[in-house]
Homo-oligomer: A and B are copies of this chain.
């Protein structure tokens, strides 16, 4: 079980003691399992989450297509929720937990109060907005200018680097979803890469060579 002491130790980029106290006081820890839906399109956002452990996949959906915005990982918050909560708007995206996840949630109203009191809170928000925006630009650049084979390889290398492991556990379908294309296309490209000895394919797993 996570205690408030843990929280204070963990979120140490919040430097003001007062802010830490408020985080512990107004915040509540909630745990979720893979598949749990944290935010839904059309729902009002009353609480802002900061992920302590795990990951939330945030995406938008329109008919059959979906567009991946970002993952919220440890120490991060969801800027879509932040904006929606701040303006008391409905969410325009979905947030789904992809692995066992602990989240610190607190009432939307705190956001505005903390802005006026705690510089490190402002830094945090600015940092989050900037990171998300950069990420989105990156994805955009990818979709606009790179061929899918390149994007597949970029994704794999990135995933391998993050996991610190040459082996990426992922099905072709999942990979297709991440890149906004179809399974057949991904399978085709992966097979090519395998023939070029750049990767090796297993069921549900892709291994990077070199």
Interface residues in chain A, defined as those with a beta carbon under 8 Å from any beta carbon in chain B: 60, 62, 65, 67, 69, 79-80, 83, 86-87, 92, 112, 115-117, 119, 122, 126-127, 129-130, 132-134, 136-137, 139-141, 143-145, 180
Contact = CB atoms under 8 A, between A and B. Distances in A.
How many copies of the shown chain assemble into the complex? 2
A144 B67 contact: yes
Contacts of A112: 119, 122
Contacts of A67: 137, 140-141, 144-145
A127 to B, nearest CB: 8
A144 B180 contact: yes
Given A67-B144, A112-B119, 9 more contacts: A60-B137, A60-B141, A67-B140, A83-B130, A116-B117, A116-B122, A129-B133, A133-B136, A140-B143
25 contacts: A62-B141, A67-B137, A67-B141, A67-B144, A69-B137, A79-B133, A83-B126, A83-B133, A86-B126, A87-B127, A112-B119, A115-B119, A115-B122, A116-B116, A116-B117, A116-B119, A116-B122, A129-B133, A133-B133, A133-B136, A136-B136, A136-B140, A140-B140, A143-B143, A143-B144
